[in-house]
Amino acid sequence: MSPRERFEGEFWNSTTVLPVDPALGDPLTGPVSKLFRQPEVGLSAKWNHYFHVYDRFLGPHAGRDLRVLEIGIGRGGSLDMWRRFFGPGAVIVGIDIRPATAAFERENVHVRIGSQTDTDFLAAVVDEFGPFDVILDDGGHLVSQQIVSFGALYPTLALDPGLYIVEDLHSNYWPELIDERPTFIELMHELVHELHEPYSQVTSAFSTLFTGAETDDRRLADGPLDAGPQVVTSTFAAWTRAISFFDSMVVIEKAERMLPTHESLTD
């Protein structure tokens, strides 16, 4: 059932014409967006609304000595932008299938030529420069390319900050670029359910949080959850903090998760 079928009211059952941003063409104010528009930075193209995501997730890490992998080099400007943003101690790596993009290699910026669907090539890049702290996929826009790269690279991603960012996911809605199902966005929807695996295994204990009822004499006390048998989840669920959806972008945050705990504050 769609939201329009489930909910009543004008908000859910009306349409709106999207307005043109009155600030279109004006400098954006975040740290990444301001750097993007500096004339000394190389040429690249970005949707303006991406910068809010960059600033939110990458802004706190400006100047850090991170290892960054970008899939898809374009005209080289994005690699230059990340080099300046993260600073001289960072290692910036770009991969592309076009040999001509090797010309964008410079100090602290490395280029390797190969396909993002070649898992042996990806493993070699990780072996040479990784593990990466940030991976950005702005490469080929076929669904299969996005999924193969994610499946090969996400397990190798480091934990601090542990960001895997996929751009231009509007391509998942264009038939000519959907070469397999599920699409990347559909796959992320499925993985959202995996994040909640601990709760499906200890339903009776967690239900006391919301109903106050006791089931099998198990209740959520302060501190670690007393769930009886050990809670086993997929490795993905055990090492993923969040999946965030934005217009044409998904950000997956990798972090070690612990068994959920509950704390009660009393007078």
Active site residues: 141
As a whole number of angstroms, the distance between CA 152 and CA 205 comes to 36
What would the 3-class secondary structure string for 128-196 be? HHCCCCEEEECCCCCHHHHHHHHHHHHHHCCCCCCEEEECCHHHHHCHHHCCCCCCHHHHHHHHHHHHC
As a whole number of angstroms, the distance between CA 222 and CA 52 comes to 38
* Closest CA relative to residue 64, chosen from 97, 86, 91: 86
* The two three-digit tokens of residue 248, written as one number: 């044409």
* The two three-digit tokens of residue 7, written as one number: 């909910």
As a whole number of angstroms, the distance between CA 83 and CA 86 comes to 6
